[in-house]
Structures are given as structure tokens and as C-alpha cells.
Structure 1
Amino acid sequence: MKWSLNLGRIAGIKILVHWTFALLLGWVAFTESQRGSDLPTTLLAMGFIITVFFCVVLHELGHALTAQRYGISTKMITLLPIGGVASLERMPQDPKKELMIAVAGPAVNVVIAFILWLVLPSIGDSFSEEFFLRITPANFFYLLLFVNVVLVVFNAIPAFPMDGGRVLRALLAFKLGRVRATQIAANLGQFLAIIFVFIGFMYNPFLILIGAFVFFGAYSENILVQHLDYLRGHSVREGMMTNFVTLAPTETVREALNKLLMGSEHEFVIEEEGKVVGTLTRSQLIQAVKEEQMQLPVVEIMSADVKTFNVQDKLSDAYTELQKTRVPLYPVLENGRLAGVINTDNINEFIMIKSALTH
């Protein structure tokens, strides 16, 4: 994610903190200053927030490490003011596996809360409204226990794609199938997201951010699952483009620009005698023009590290890869030779046609 600070890796998973997290710490410092708190009290409050988000990282690691057991890798965990996001490579199709991954995060918070409950001395009837108003050395870990319990309860809300929503989707999928289960869970998630927003306007602005995240997250995943269902059983050959323009490695930037202007292609495959040697994007061409490299062969500015698909590969796998990498175009090979190209736009057109034929 852009504008994020890399904190390192845990179990091979990159831990990032988004720059907006600094706004949260700034808001805490401002709130404490308005209360007239001294520097040690302000630092303690900020330290509490950091400790809470350490628990959030452990929560997300619960998801990630459970997914790892099923062969699903996690690129990164990103900390935002509204919580953490584990960027799993994909979600499993098996509802049992999704259920285990979804439950693993809150289970970590249950363990943290239980350990704190065991080690902290009982304070009897000392709880009061003031106990929760200000963080002190005396109540620091008690409040941390309370926050972990709140995280468990909050994540149990069936607002897809939150943990509770994923649990609901997995349970529904056992009987209804993944597509229908996703539709129901996503609709419920969007309904609850609207409620979050309304409550947020009245009480807490952070609920507005959470509501927006849930609403658009539910919408996006619902669409993705529907699209993958349309693509199931189809090969890359069915969705690739066979009418496309290629460039030879020896062609110059000027010649490539002419082909760019004459047609609708924005990206080109560089091929030599049917063998793919690289790809060239419009932005690479424009950069070469700015640097006055008009006579330079395209082989000098192309991307040589090219992932390809085979005509027999699953179209759903190609779609998932394109969504994940945002690469504008992939060459498609048959018997090692260039047979076509595939991009997101063409697969989306394939989905539109399949959708129209089924309605």
C-alpha cells in the first residue's frame, strides 16, 4: 500500500503502517492536551494505542498463519486507524477452511484477554465510569483486557467482509454454495455498514470510516465471486485476444509510437519468431519520448521479466492474477509460441457476455 512505513517482517509477512495512523496518534495527543494532561500521561495514552494495535497485528497474524496452513500466502498486514488488514493472496473456496481462517483472528484476542484475566489481580468493585475515562499505569492492562474483549465482540458482528461476516458466509456456503452465500452475507454487510455510518455521524467518526470500508468491501467481494463463477470451467483460450499488434525487438521507439497512434493498443508484446521476449507499455514509450530516445530499439526500454499464461490455463486464474497484480496485459502461449494476449478488459467483456446469456 502506498504511503506506508515498513516495520519489518513476521513469519515472512511484511508489516506496514499507513501514514494515516499518525493522525490517530496526533488526535490522542491533542485530546490529552485539551484535558490538561502532562507529557508522561500523554505518552502513556499514545503507548496504549500502540499496544492495542500490536494486539491487532497479532489478530491479523492469526488469520495469515492459519491461511498459510492451507497453502495461502499473505503479502502484507497493513495497520490503518480503523484497524488492520491482512492482504491474503486469496480466500479458499472450501467453506470449512474459510471458517477456520475467519475464526483464527478473534481467537487470538480471546487468548490475549484470557491471559490478562489470569495474571491481573482482581480489583473487585473498583470499576467505575472514571476507570475508563483516562489511561493510568494502574488500569493500563485492565483496559487492554477490555479492548481485546471488545475486539472479539465487534468482529463477531456479521458485517461482511469483517470476520463475523466471513464466518456467516462460510456457514451459509455449506448449504447454499459460495455465490449465493456471498450475496446474502454481502447484502447484510452493506445494510449494517449503513447503520455504522448513521451511528458514526451521531457518536464516533471512526464508525463512518468502518462503515465505508465494510460497504465497499462487501460490494467488491460480491462482484468478484460472481465473476469467478461465470469464469469457472473456461480456459484462457476462450477469453484471450487473437487480433493484436506486436513489435519486433529491433523496431525503434518512433515506429512503436506510430503503431500506438494508428491503433487502439496501449501495450505491446515484443516477439521474435513467435517467441515472447518482453512487453512494452504506453507509459514506457512516453518516458522514452521525454528522454529524446526516438531512435532507440524497443528492446532497450521494454520489460523483459514477463509472466505468461498457457491457452489451457483456467480463465479464472488469469482473472485473479490480473486483479492482484494490475499488470495491463499478459501474453498467452501455445506450445511455447505466442498465441494471443489477455487483459482485464477482455475478461470483463467475456463476463458481460456470459451474464447476458444466462439472464
Structure 2
Amino acid sequence: MKWSLNLGKIAGIKILVHWTFVLLLGWVALSEAQRGSNTGTILLAVGFMLSVFLCVVLHELGHALTAKHYGITTKMITLLPIGGVASLEKMPEKPSQELLVALAGPAVNVVIALILWLALPTLQGAVTEEFFMRITLANFPYLLLFVNVVLVLFNAIPAFPMDGGRVLRALLAFKLGRVRATQIAANLGQMLAIFFVFIGFFYNPFLILIGIFVFFGAYSENMVVQHLDFLRGHTVREGMITHYVSLTPTTTVREAVSKLLTGSEHEFVVEEDGVVVGTLTRSQLIQAVKNEQMDMPVVQVMTGQVKTFNANDKLADAYTELQKSRAPLYPVLEQGRLAGVINSDNINEFIMVKSALMH
């Protein structure tokens, strides 16, 4: 994710923190300062927030390491002001595996809460509202216990992209199949999202943000699963573009710009006698023009390391990779030579045609 700071790796998984997370810490510090808190209390509040997000990282690692057990890799975990996001390569399609991966995150918070509950002395007297209003050394661990319980309850909401939505989908999939289960779970998630937005207008604006996040998360999950179902059983050959403009390594930036302006392509495959050398994007071309490199061969401004697909590969795999990488296109090879290109637009058109033929 852009504008993220790399904090290092845990179990081979990059831990990133988005720059907006710094704004959250700043807001916490400013809020305490406006309340007249001293420096020690401000630092304690910031430390508490960091502790909460450590619990969030452990939560996401629960998902990631369980997925790894099933051969699914996780490239990174990104911390955002609204929580953490584990970038799993994909979710398991077997309901039993998805169920365990979805439950693994909240299970970590249950363990943390249980450890704190067993380690902390029982509070004497009733817990008042004041107990939750200001962080102190005395209530720090108790509030951390409370937050982990809240994380478990929040993630139990049966709506994508929360864990509860994935648990519901996995349970329904045992009987209904993944596609129908996703439809039901996504529809329920969107209904809950609308409810969150409605309640947010009257009580807490933060619920509006959560509602929007849930609504589009549920919609996106449903669309991806529906699309993968349409693509099942089809090969890259069926969805690739065979009429395309390619460049040679010696083509100049000037000549490439001319092809860009006179044609419909925004990205080009660079090849020599059918052997793929690289790809050239519109942004790379524009940058070369800005740098006054009009007579430079494209081989010096292109991307040389390029992932390719074979014409007989699964079309669903190409779709998943394009969604994940956001790459503009991938070359398609047949017997080691360039046979076409594949991009998201053409796959989406393939899906629309398939959908129309079924109705």
C-alpha cells in the first residue's frame, strides 16, 4: 500500500503502518492535551493506542499463519486508523479451511483477554463511566482487556469484510456452496451496513464510516466470487486479446508515443521475434517524454521483469492475479512465444458476455 512505513517482518510477513495512522496518534495526543493532561498522561494514552494496535497485528497474524498452514501466503499486514488488513494471497475455498482462518484472528484476542483476566486482580466495587474516560497506569491493563473483548465482538458481526461474515459464509457453504453462501452473507452484510449508517447519523458518526466500509467490502467480496464462478473451467486463451500492438526493443519513445496517440492501447508488450522482453506503460512513456528522452529506445524505460501466463492456464487465476497486482496487462505465451495479452477489462467483458448468454 502506498505511503506506508515498513516496520519489518514477522514470520516472513511485512508489517506496514499507513501514514494516516500517525494522524490517529496525533489526534489522541491532542485530545489529551486539550483536556489538560500532563506529558506523562499523553504518552500513556499514545502507548495505550500502540498496545491496542499490537493486539490488532497479533489478530491479523492469527489469520495469516493459519492461512500459511494451508499453503496460502500473506505478503503484508497494514495498520490503518480503522484497524489492520492482512493481504492474504486468497481465502481458502474449502469451507472448513476458511472457517478456521476466519476464527484464528478473534481467537488470538480471546487468548489475550483470557491471559489478562487471569493475571489481573478482580476490581473492587462497581466500574463507573469515569473508569473509561481517562487512561492511567492502574486501569491500563483493564482497558486493554476490554478492548480485546470488543475486538472479538466487533469481528463477530456477520458481515464482510469482518471475520463474522467469513465465518457465516463458511458455515453456509457446507450446505449451499461457496457462491450462494457468499450472496447470502454479502446481502446480510449490506443490510447491516445500511443500519450502521442510519444509526450513525443519530449517535456516532464513526458508525457511518464503518457502515460504508462494510457495504462496499460485502459488495466487492460478492462480485469477486461471482466472477470467479463465471470463469471456472475457462482458460486464458478464451479471454486473451489477440489483436494488439507490440513494440520492439529498438522502438523509440517517439514512435511509441505515436502509437499511443493513434491507437487504443495504453500499455504495450515489448517483444522480439515472439520472445517477450518487457512491458511499457503509459505512465512510463509520459515520464520519458518529460525527461526529454524521445529518441531513447523503449528497452531503456520499460519494465523488464514481467510475469506471464500460458494460454492454457486457468482464466480465474489470471483474474485473481490482475485483481491483486493491479497490473495493466500480462503477456500470454504459447510454447514460449507471445500469443496475446490479458487484462482486467477483457476478462470483465468475457464475464459480461457469459452472464448475458446465461439469461
TM bucket normalised to smaller:
over 0.9
Matched, 1:335 2:335: yes
State the number of aligned residues. Answer: 359
In 1: Cα distance, 2:4 partner to 2:194 partner: 28
Which is worse superposed, 225-234 or 270-279? 270-279
In 1: Cα distance, 2:281 partner to 2:114 partner: 54
Corresponding letter in the other structure for 1:55 = C
In 2: Cα distance, 1:206 partner to 1:82 partner: 10
Matched, 1:22 2:22: yes
Corresponding letter in the other structure for 2:88 = L
Which residue of structure 2 aligns with residue 85 of structure 1?
85
Is the Cα–Cα contact under 8 Å of residues 82 and 209 in structure 1 kept in the other structure? no
In 1: Cα distance, 2:271 partner to 2:33 partner: 64
Which residue of structure 1 aligns with residue 62 of structure 2?
62
Equivalent runs, 1:1-359 vs 2, <5 Å: 1-359=1-359
Q: Deviation at 1:309?
A: 0.6
In 2: Cα distance, 1:77 partner to 1:327 partner: 21
Q: Deviations over 1:315-354 (max 9, x none)?
A: 0000111111111111111111111111111111100000
Q: Deviation at 1:128?
A: 2.3
Q: Deviation at 1:63?
A: 0.6
Q: Deviation at 1:134?
A: 1.8
In 2: Cα distance, 1:231 partner to 1:38 partner: 60
Q: Deviations over 1:292-311 (max 9, x none)?
A: 22222222222211111101
Corresponding letter in the other structure for 1:36 = G
Q: Deviation at 1:125?
A: 2.5
Which is worse superposed, 206-215 or 349-358? 206-215
Corresponding letter in the other structure for 1:71 = G
Q: Deviation at 1:255?
A: 2.1
Q: Deviations over 1:251-294 (max 9, x none)?
A: 22222222222221111111211111121122222222222222
Corresponding letter in the other structure for 1:93 = E
Q: Deviation at 1:206?
A: 2.5
In 2: Cα distance, 1:206 partner to 1:35 partner: 21
Is the Cα–Cα contact under 8 Å of residues 112 and 145 in structure 2 kept in the other structure? yes
Q: Secondary structure at the match of 1:135?
A: coil
In 2: Cα distance, 1:83 partner to 1:286 partner: 37
Aligned structure 1 segments of 4 or more residues deviating by more than 6 angstroms: none
Q: Deviation at 1:142?
A: 1.1
Q: Deviation at 1:29?
A: 2.2
Is the Cα–Cα contact under 8 Å of residues 160 and 221 in structure 2 kept in the other structure? no
Is the Cα–Cα contact under 8 Å of residues 270 and 276 in structure 1 kept in the other structure? yes
In 2: Cα distance, 1:81 partner to 1:281 partner: 33
TM-score, L = length of structure 2: 0.96
Is the Cα–Cα contact under 8 Å of residues 186 and 222 in structure 2 kept in the other structure? yes
Corresponding letter in the other structure for 2:341 = V
Q: Deviation at 1:71?
A: 0.9
Distance verdict in 2 for CA 1:118–1:309, change over 3 Å: same
Q: Deviation at 1:151?
A: 1.1
Q: Which blocks of at least 5 consecutive residues in structure 1 are unaligned?
A: none
In 2: Cα distance, 1:7 partner to 1:202 partner: 39
Q: Deviation at 1:24?
A: 2.0
Supply the RMSD in Å over aligned alpha carbons. 1.4
Distance verdict in 2 for CA 1:5–1:300, change over 3 Å: closer
Is the Cα–Cα contact under 8 Å of residues 82 and 206 in structure 1 kept in the other structure? no
Q: Secondary structure at the match of 1:173?
A: helix
Is the Cα–Cα contact under 8 Å of residues 72 and 89 in structure 2 kept in the other structure? yes
In 1: Cα distance, 2:275 partner to 2:18 partner: 42
Q: Deviation at 1:126?
A: 4.4
Distance verdict in 2 for CA 1:6–1:206, change over 3 Å: farther
Q: Deviations over 1:59-110 (max 9, x none)?
A: 1110111111111111111111211111111111111111001000000011
Corresponding letter in the other structure for 2:290 = K
Q: Secondary structure at the match of 2:85?
A: strand
In 1: Cα distance, 2:281 partner to 2:123 partner: 65
TM-score, L = length of structure 1: 0.96
Is the Cα–Cα contact under 8 Å of residues 161 and 186 in structure 1 kept in the other structure? no
Q: Deviation at 1:200?
A: 2.6
